[in-house]
Amino acid sequence: MVDITHKNTTLRTAVAQAIVKVSKPETIEAIQNDTVPKGNVFAMSKAAGLLGVKRTPDILPDCHPLPIEYTGVAYEINGLEITVLFTVKTIYKTGVEVEAMHGASVVALNMYDMLKPIDKGIEIHHIKLLNKKGGKSDFKNRFRTDITAAVIVCSDTISAGHKEDKAGKAIIEKLKICGVQTEAYEIIPDALEVIQNKAKQYQEQGVDLIIYTGGTGLSARDVTPEALAPLLDRRIPGIEEAIRSYGQDRTPYSMLSRSVAGTIKNTLVLALPGSTNGASESMDAIFPSVLHIFGILRGARHD
């Protein structure tokens, strides 16, 4: 199965359809009058669909087991055609498109099974996804595509040439995927004044996003939060909480990180962990959703 451990949990919705076409009006009348020998077609087929959608990962090997938190089945009759509308909702890391299509197909197949004794010409058509919502595709930055960034690695060891930087490069790669241009990349020592000067420098140059990696731990030289806090006009606790919550689901040590997020005028400043995994997972936790801030800072509405 595809690795979804890096994804965020969001509300996911999918609506699928299947069309059951009967061959004579008498079949529709039997359904509506509840005179089909095998029982109430709509009620029993709905029950079959509810059971079937829960078994989707048992039948399709690449489908992830996930909580089905809502299922809705509706029918529309148009002449000799019955349209099955199947809705599935979950709050999870991956979508429910296949589950919705599977549910619609099971409903249609059960209708076929119940109606075949009275109608030999039944056909099933147009099993397809009608729409879906949720996931990163619904939370892309809609306001700006020209966002620039500076990535600053805070590390005495790396700046002295004793170790290679990987965290900063991982951040740059994540930014590239999100369409953000990295205009500057620097490695500096864990020095409070140097950290502050870099924030002031890039903010004055008009860089939209300044990302520090390193210096957010609890050792004596970890001073990045102390350096940045006095410069920030406003802290953004939600970003900080999202980073730690995401990390805590993956390692019990994330609670020890002191990641910082805030703004200096219209520049967003982030201080992320210095480990490669910590930096990469922090980016996964908040990107690309965090880019929404650049529209809000210019007065755009959330909706």
The rounded distance, in Å, linking the Cα atoms of 182 and 296 is: 21
The rounded distance, in Å, linking the Cα atoms of 303 and 291 is: 14
Q: Which of 230, 254, 22, 258 is nearest to 122 (CA)?
A: 22
The rounded distance, in Å, linking the Cα atoms of 221 and 197 is: 17
Task: Output the CA angle 293-295-297, nearest 5 degrees.
Answer: 65
Backbone dihedral angles phi then psi of residue 95, each to the nearest 5 degrees: -75, 175
Q: Which of 156, 164, 154, 275 is nearest to 215 (CA)?
A: 154
Three-state secondary structure call for residue 301: coil
Catalytic residue among 3, 34, 113, 233: 113
Supply 195's token pair: 């950290």
CA 57 to chain centre: 20
Report whether 185 contacts 172 (CB < 8 A): yes
Three-state secondary structure call for residue 107: helix
Check if 113 is active-site: yes
**What sign does the CA torsion over 251, 255, 257, 261 have?**
positive
Q: Which residue has the tokens 């140097």?
A: 194
Supply 278's token pair: 């910590």
Residue numbers annotated as active site: 113
